[in-house]
Structure 1
């Protein structure tokens, strides 16, 4: 029983946190789109307001180009979060390697207790499983540490997200072929496609079984982004697309380097 819980959380922790983020974003009321009043800030608005100032300041440097401002701030945020994300990937790879080594023992333990459903047997299975983790020097709760980078970035991304929605100057400007204040289907589709391929890149190094288990997330993540973007001004899918492209490149390079280091060390 414990094995299935740990395995489920480890496989789906990103999906659960992404769902929480999207539910938070989509659960806002109409009032959250109103411009901020710096003299009457409350709650999350103290986090949002610095982002609105930053968006305006960078846009002013580029002759009121709010598209460039959004792109640059997105890249800056992703660069600041990069060390945390690299650490997360390394921890996940180390955990996967240890779990692969433990798999024969875990399978044997599962087979041993497969027909035993009484409470005493379940407790004995749990005890033997913890002993197995200790034997291999693995902390079953270490997987929760992989959530830390996602938890750190959530308030930052929330603040920037709402700053885009609540900075009225953005809506009055164009960027490339679209108006930042109007919905743009083409840009929404681009953001969806980028996040789908970003997910595919994140599957590098996984075996076919793991890829099949994660297939649902590969569809859900871009669908969520598409649902939010299709009813939002184009500034938001611009933000999603920029962040997705950065994540794709970051994931590809990081995994290439980490796998190369493991091959050298082995």
Structure 2
């Protein structure tokens, strides 16, 4: 889980760095060249404009529809991530027992612990890194969505609800909702007895909320809608907390 924590932080940092590595001042059009613009940014921009035209120039509603479409597109990966978290939860009591058995901090004991954990993962068919793959897929999509919003000139000047889509939310309500929904979504997926995941549970919502304060509200809207979609998906696949059963089992063993 330490690797997952590091990977998540690295990907978010990479996302922030990359947002400044491309020319976001250049409008995206059908004449834009390059793989990035032609196959990622422009199709997203065109789709947003297409749905906005259908909804009477309502770009906010268009962004919501495109977000849901993107989530449905990567739904198989997200279901795999959810099931991977559920599988990890199922073996948490045994992993805890292993950590207690090999609690000594010397290198030989820790190597033995890692070997037995890997053997358990193989035996149960669990890939502890499977949950990272959807994150790798989502990062380019999120970055492309950011570019589509920033470089689609048609979005400029349009409002949705209480905010302008091409500027940060002036009352910071949308960033707050983005942070809260991120927290809820992660809480539903959290490995209950893992301290690294608990750190991530609080760190990620704060980072998302801070980014949303400075980014255009349209991007924060994407985060909020995506989080709500994920919360509903997780609920219907695993229930309100994938760790609940594992926690009950662990409590039963202690008795």
Same fold (TM over 0.5): yes
Residue equivalent to 1:49: 42
Q: 1:199 deviation in Å?
A: 2.5
Relative distance call for 1:87 and 1:39 in structure 2 (3 A) is same
Consecutive unaligned residues in structure 1, runs of 5 or more: 1-6
Question: 1:159 & 1:235 partners in 2: Cα distance?
Answer: 13
Matches within 5 A, 1:136-147: 137-138=122-123, 142-147=127-132
2:232 to 243, 249, 259: 249
Q: 1:156 deviation in Å?
A: 2.3
2:221 to 225, 234, 238: 238
Q: 1:258 deviation in Å?
A: 9.7
Q: CA RMSD in A?
A: 3.1
Residue equivalent to 2:147: 162
Matches within 5 A, 1:1-266: 7-9=1-3, 13=4, 15-27=5-17, 28-29=19-20, 31-46=23-38, 47-111=40-104, 114=105, 116-117=106-107, 122=108, 126=111, 129-130=114-115, 133-134=118-119, 137-138=122-123, 142-184=127-169, 185-203=172-190, 206-207=191-192, 209-210=193-194, 212-256=195-239
Q: 1:89 deviation in Å?
A: 1.9
The answer on whether the counterparts of 1:62 and 1:68 sit within 8 Å (CA) in structure 2 is yes
Question: 1:38 & 1:101 partners in 2: Cα distance?
Answer: 55
Structure with bigger gyration radius: 1
The answer on whether the counterparts of 2:178 and 2:209 sit within 8 Å (CA) in structure 1 is yes
What SS does the corresponding residue of 2:56 show, helix, strand or coil?
Answer: coil
- TM-score, normalization: structure 1? 0.76
What SS does the corresponding residue of 1:143 show, helix, strand or coil?
Answer: coil
Question: 1:49 & 1:252 partners in 2: Cα distance?
Answer: 34
- TM-score, normalization: structure 2? 0.79
The 4+ residue runs of structure 1 with deviation greater than 4 A are none
* Structure holding more helix per residue: 1
Relative distance call for 1:170 and 1:24 in structure 2 (3 A) is farther
Question: 1:230 & 1:41 partners in 2: Cα distance?
Answer: 31
Question: Number of residues paired by the alignment?
Answer: 240
